[in-house]
Amino acid sequence: RCLLTMASQSPEPMTPTRAKAILKDTIETLGTEENKAQIQNVLEQVKEAPPEEQPMKKMQLMVPLVTALAGNKLQEHGLPNVMMGVMQIQMVAGQDALVAEGVQLLTACTMGNIDEAAIEAYLAKLS
């Protein structure tokens, strides 16, 4: 009985199918109008910095924002935080081209590069 209890509490292993579901939810979350506006706001702040400081400023502002926006969605899937989630998804990306494509798209979104057409095309592949 103890073994069953412990097993049910351990996190579900990452599989390509699970990774695709997580990527779909996370990319959809980042692509909402409200969240895109927040990302755009950060990008505007980055542009105000001197050019040589912009890459660092982008990381300083985008990483916490994306963590805040996507963190709850990842927790719904049993992942404790964004870093852990991305690491686990990347581990199965080599097994599935669609997962690898999603990781690239999510990484681009994290850096503020939201390509509407690419997001729509990717989400259509997952449907």
pLDDT at 11: 66
pLDDT at 3: 46
Phi-psi domain of 26 (left: phi exceeds 0; alpha: psi -120 through 50; beta: other): alpha
Q: For 46-100, how does the pLDDT look when each residue is reduced to its tens digit (9 = 90+)?
A: 999 999 999 999 989 998 998 899 988 999 999 988 888 889 999 999 999 999 9
Whole-angstrom distance, CA of residue 65 vs CA of residue 89: 20
The pTM of the full predicted model, rounded to 2 decimals, is 0.82
11-37 average pLDDT score: 91
Give the single-character DSSP code of 52.
Answer: G
Distances (CA, A) of 108 to 7, 116, 124: 35, 12, 18
Token reading at 10: 């351990």
| In the predicted structure, residue 122 carries a pLDDT above the cut 80 | yes
pLDDT at 5: 42
Are 62 and 112 a contacting pair, CB within 8 Å?
Answer: yes
Q: What is the mean pLDDT of the chain?
A: 87
